[in-house]
Amino acid sequence: MFRSLICVIYLILLSITSSLAGIKNDKKHFYHIEYRTIQDSTKAVKLKSNPLKLLLEALKFKKNAITKEQQRVKVLIEKIIKNDTLLVTVKHLDEFKKELAESNKEQFQTLLDLIKELQISDKKTPSDEPESKSLDNKPFRLTKEPDPNDKYINDLVDKLIPILTNTKEEQEKKNSRQEQLKLIREVYANKNSFIDTINDSTAIRYRLKLGHRADVLGIYPHETKNTINKYNLSTLSTLIYDYYELDPSTGLAKNFNRWSDSDIINNVKDVGAKVILTVTNKNSLETAKFLTNKKATINLINNTLNLLEQRDAEGINIDLKGLNKKLRPYFVEFITLLSNTYRLKNKQYEVMITLPVYDENNAFDIPALDALTDRFIIDFSQKPTNYPGPIAPLIDESDYNIQSSVSRYLNIGIAPYKFIVGLTYYGAEFERNLRTGVESFKNYIPYQQIRLNHQYAPVKYNKEQAFASIEIRDDEGNLTGHIFYDNEYSLEQKYDFIIQNGLGGVAIRDLVADEGYGELWDLLASKFIRIDTVSKEMISLKPSLAQDQSIWEYIKTNSISYYKALQFPCDAKYDHPDQLLLRIINIILGFLSISIIVILIYQIKAKGEKWRWKKLLIKFLIVLINLCIITIFMWLYIDSRFKWFGAGENCISMPFIILLLIIFTGIIFGSIIMRLLIFPAIQHDEKP
């Protein structure tokens, strides 16, 4: 009996996980689940309750549940058991699955763990029925005996509710991030002045600028086309141009190109970011050959200095492969010569060194290099072992996780701000041998391809170690491998670790690896971009005439303000100009117009149509009325309370004079059409 209940829960959870994973009915399934049809039996004992009913009752009275999501699940379950059916069939579960909306793929692993736990519990818990009895052709049955079923139903609800809660909290976090990104984009767009109204007469004007909580280094491979231009490069503090491949015999570049004409360098310089050139090589033999060749080291230093001066770059990153303990003093000697030569120049060039995750060979004399180097980049972009798993776990039992690596380097006594954590937008793909079940490393795959090629695959998320993974299956459902990578959730954990520990920042390899998917770039901006208030000032929304200001100066000052507000209606710098003078002008023009109308009516009645001032006053009245209409439009255009008019909420950046020209052009063309086409036709029809 208890096994039957566990089987029901198992089927329910499998249905939910299929929906959560976003597996469509018209797509090929990654998981082929074989349901065993539960047939009715004439000899079966009559059920006293439906397992789904128990789940429903538990949900009804469970505290701290999410009201909306809880109600939705309750309605779905009630729909399935509305006829008080005694059997939970595959058909019912399929209906339940179809009704559930697609949720975050990241909850998939949580539900799988829950299923696994229930399976283990099934094995450990004694059953009322003999183990030899088959569940085939048997209905599910519940009894009134004090059994653990109620406990497991409640445990099930206890574990489902946090999943729903996490989804809600995650959505709130996303909404907050979107608001922050919106403000960042507005500052990017040179809208750096914002007004916060306190009351009807007073407001505060803030002037903002963007800074960095920690440095953001973007690694850009030189062979890449400039697809990076579609991103907002203001997020970067430094671009690392990768790479100058070292010829160990000469110190010159083997195949270095595109440095002199690469547009990306100009683009990042325009937004105020630095440019660093990476020097690297292939292996330990090349490193040994280069470091023991004095002439080659001098050639490298002089050649890279010329390249930096050519593009007005800021420094160099040394990333030599296969350094060992024997070469340790040679490396310190080379960095000493390089650093001293660079610092003799007028421009203070930066020197960076790329470090391994774990310096097993004790090849880097960190205390000696500290005084010669501006920053150290700890490189987590490569898989340190061939065992299946993430490239850069935040924490695990190995020596190659981020927390252990950073701790080892900090324990040497170097300031935390000097260390940059180098992460990657690539995933590690492992291929499984179907015969032996052993998985071996296959290749690195960029985030773009992971999202594109595996968009329907369930994503498992390991929150403790901070990584995402996908199971790869063939058309028959056989497991053929795994992909371990970082998504926005795992990267957020690692970014938080960097900020909370006061590290120098993050280096991303490669920025172009997520082309077409902006969530990683948005996360980078929301975590590392800081919005600073440059100044704030109290401003009056109802400015009064200064005691030492004459009437003429008041009119002149406000006339200039009106011109700027009408010329640049969407610029926050010209928000809320004094409208008192404009209101006075409107009142005067309106009063004069009404007065002339009254005079005209009185004089025409008294002296008839031949009154000598009649035409002159009519022309003057037309001018006054036009001026009054224009000033009224001006008032609407600069008053932010009116939407779609100038400075309103949905401001259209069009100078007022252009709007007037459009209006008067329409009036003129309309008059011409009336005069040339419509009036002659009317007059022709009136002729006998």
DSSP string, 454-511: TTTS-EEEETTTTEEEEEEE-TT--EEEEEEE--HHHHHHHHHHHHHTT--EEEEE-G
pLDDT over 70, % of the chain: 64
Q: What is the pLDDT of residue 15?
A: 47
Residue 27: its pLDDT value, please?
39
pLDDT for res 157: 53
Residue-level pLDDT at 409: 96
Indicate the pLDDT class of residue 298, thresholds 50, 70 and 90.
very high
Burial 265-284 (b: 16+ CB within 10 A, else e): bebbbeeebbbbbbbbbeeb
H/E element holding 318? Answer: strand 315-319
Confidence of residue 590 (pLDDT cuts 50, 70, 90): confident
Q: 79-83, 125-129, 135-139: which range is least confident on average?
A: 135-139
Q: In this structure, which topology does domain 210-425+486-534 adopt according to CATH?
A: TIM Barrel (3.20.20)
Q: How far apart are CA 684 and CA 688, in angstroms?
A: 9
Query: DSSP letter string over 431-457?
Result: EE-TTT--EEEEEEEEHHHHHHHTTTS
Q: What is the pLDDT of residues 457-470, one digit of tens each?
A: 889 999 999 999 99
Q: Which two tokens stand for residue 583?
A: 């209101």
For the chain, domain boundaries: 2-173, 210-425+486-534, 551-654
Q: What is the pLDDT of residue 560?
A: 79
CA-based max dimension of the chain:
122
Residue 129 has pLDDT above 50, yes or no: no
Structure tokens at 76: 């779905």
pLDDT at 622: 86
Provide the pLDDT for residue 305: 96
More confident residue, 442 or 672: 442
Residue 543 or 334, more confident: 334
* pLDDT over threshold 50, residue 558: yes
Query: Would you state the pLDDT for residue 658?
Result: 79
Q: How far apart are CA 271 and CA 614, in angstroms?
A: 66
Average pLDDT over residues 156-184: 66
Residue type, 409: Y
- Report pTM: 0.61
Residue 227 has what pLDDT?
A: 60
Tell which residue, 359, 374, 372, 334, has the closest CA to residue 412: 359
CA-to-CA dists, residue 273 to 38, 264, 267, 517, 519, angstroms: 66, 11, 9, 23, 22
**Token output for 135:** 């569940």
Alpha helices in 214-275 (DSSP H): 263-270
Dist CA 663 CA 11 (whole Å): 69
Q: What is the DSSP code (8-state) at residue 131?
A: T
Res 277 pLDDT > 60 = yes
605 vs 484, more confident: 484
Rounded (5°) CA angle 208-209-211: 140
From residue 158, alpha-carbon distances to 61, 65, 464 in Å are 12, 9, 20
| Token couple for 294 | 């004095």
- Contacting residues for 310 by C-beta, under 8 A, at least 6 apart: 259, 260
Dihedral-angle region of residue 477 (phi above 0 means left; psi in -120 to 50 means alpha; beta otherwise): left
What is the pLDDT at residue 600? 82
Residue 566 has pLDDT above 50, yes or no: yes
Angle at 599 between CA 595 and CA 604, to 5 degrees: 155
